Amino acid sequence: MTLLRVRAGVGLSLGLVLLFVSLLRCFADPAPAIHYAPVENLEQADVALIDRAERDIDIAAYVLTDWPVMRALIRAAGRGVRVRIYMDGRRIGEREPTPLFRELLANPEIETRFKRSGAPLMHLKSYQIDGRWLRTGAANFSASGLKRQDNDLLVIAAAEVFKRRFEAIFAQGETLPLAATEQTP
């Protein structure tokens, strides 16, 4: 009988440990999601993430030329999501901005700032959504970066550190008048 009691005690203890571990998993952040281009279309992952936003999106982009990503940001702003974009100013003016990029800049619901001239290169390719999700990785927000190049995209449920850094760099940025993005042939 004592052997049965010992086994029952071990079984009960093991059951409590397993219950405790499963409860911890409920409170822990989910595992990161890692995606790789060109095997996967990272553009679809970005659009899906942006479309999930409910409160705010802060995006730090070395380059932002991918049309579906820009459309998703415009849609997010249209449904009341606070959208802020911080970019490297050197990328502006290298080529004629697309009509969609101009629409993004002119949207009163989207606040865009650029890194000051002469400052070190801003090469981030990251955004946070609702203070919860952080998207980062090597992929620029361009069609080639999201679909054709060997790049990665990592989504983790830990955006607070990025959000604090974004606040600091965004505060140092400058606005770029829409007229400055227009070039006459």
Q: What is the pLDDT of residue 115?
A: 86
Q: What is the mean pLDDT of residues 94-106?
A: 83
Q: What are the strands, taking DSSP E only, across the chain?
A: 33-37, 56-61, 82-87, 110-114, 125-129, 133-137, 151-156
Backbone torsions φ then ψ of 73, nearest 5 degrees: -65, -40
92 pLDDT band, cuts 50/70/90, is low
pTM (2 d.p.): 0.76
Q: What is the mean pLDDT of residues 125-142?
A: 92
Q: What is the mean pLDDT of residues 144-156?
A: 91
Q: Which of 96, 87, 117, 67 is nearest to 182 (CA)?
A: 96
Q: Which of 107, 135, 118 is nearest to 172 (CA)?
A: 118
Q: What is the pLDDT of residue 122?
A: 79
Percent of the chain residues past pLDDT 70, beyond the cut: 75
Residues 11-20: contacts with CB under 8 Å, at least 24 apart: none
Q: Which residue has the higher pLDDT, 29 or 149?
A: 149
Q: How far is 43 from 46, CA to CA, in rounded Å?
A: 5
Half-sphere exposure of 50 (CA within 13 A, CB side): 26
CB 85 within 8 A of CB 112: yes
Q: Tokens for 29?
A: 């952040």
> 111-130: per-residue pLDDT in tens?
999 888 788 887 899 999 99
Residue 98 has pLDDT above 70, yes or no: yes
CA 12 to chain centre: 44
Residue 44 has pLDDT above 90, yes or no: yes
Residue 142 has pLDDT above 60, yes or no: yes
